[in-house]
Amino acid sequence: MDLQLEGTVVLVTGASRGLGAAMALALAKEGATVVAAARSKDSLAEVAAQGEGRISAVTVDMRDEESVRALVPEVVARHGRIDGLVNNAGIAPAGKFATQDPEVWKDAMAVNVIAPMLLAQAAGQHMIEQGAGRIVNIASTTGVRGKPYLVPYSTSKGAVVRFTEALAAEWAPKNVQVNCIAPGAFVTEAQKAVTESPELHAKRIAKIPAGRMADPSEIVPLTCLLVSPLSSFTTGAVFVVDGGESGKL
């Protein structure tokens, strides 16, 4: 199936590794011009090198509002437009809530909520002027179901879900679709503590009806579809990709 991504311009944040890198590479393979943004310059360069000339890199810290505000204008200056935005960058601070420093919460909100809001606001203005656009926010199953010891992360990702739904309703008349993907357990660097421990890995898998963790490649077909013009009547949806974990009792 032709997803009609040839000639489109897509910004992917948190694209230096894991799910972000997988999504950036898949979008480029489908014909999109991809701007990959993240903090790690070296890792971004490795991703861009695999993009067959379709991926360019921008180093940005999502905690830095000034840098975040400059990101979309830079994409438009480079390519003349922006058709898709994948808000993937995120942090997941763990700890006991009773003794958690408020700075931990401020960081989680800055990266997981404020940065996506600023990027969506800036990108959306161009998309509305162009007559179309698509935004995909990456939340988490912890934004759909709360998880202990990840209270700030769960809270911030829950905000991403509500943000998606509200913005989708506001921008649907403008032909800008806003959707959300809530991933469960994926085999990424962020999950090394789990995947490298047989005991933790077994406990994690026991919670997943599918009986395994997902590969990053398993999020990319849905991402590409939601960035594609073919998803023009799909908006305000939250797609859970977790092997059935959050759907069971």
Q: What pLDDT sits at residue 188?
A: 85
Q: What is the pLDDT of residues 16-60, one digit of tens each?
A: 999 999 999 999 999 999 999 999 999 999 999 999 999 999 999
pTM for the model stands at 0.96
Candidates 136, 153, 157, 182; catalytic one: 153
Q: Is residue 225 part of a domain?
A: yes
Query: pLDDT, tens digit, for every residue of 67-94?
Result: 999 999 999 999 999 999 999 999 999 9
Query: What is the spatial distance between Cα 201 and Cα 213, in angstroms, rounded to a whole number?
Result: 9
Evaluate whether residue 247 is within a structural domain: no
pLDDT of residue 47: 97
Beta bridge partners of 36: 12, 57
Question: How high is the pLDDT of residue 142?
Answer: 95
Distance CA 90, CA 148 (A): 18
Per-residue model confidence (pLDDT) at position 249: 66
Residue 59 placed within a domain: yes
- Residue 172 inside a domain? The answer is yes
DSSP code of residue 186:
B
Q: Does residue 2 fall inside a structural domain?
A: no
Instruction: State residue 112 phi and psi, 5-degree precision.
Output: -90, -20
| Cα 78 to Cα 9, 57, 111, 114, 134, distances in angstroms | 10, 11, 24, 24, 19
Per the structure, the count of domains in the chain is 1
Is 153 assigned a catalytic role?
Answer: yes
The CATH number of the domain holding residue 214 is 3.40.50.720
**List of the chain residues with pLDDT < 50:** none
Structural domain contains residue 246: no
Q: Whole domain around residue 93: which residue ranges?
A: 9-241
Please check whether residue 4 lies inside any domain of the structure: no
> Alpha-carbon dihedral of residues 134, 190, 115, 33, nearest 10 degrees?
-40
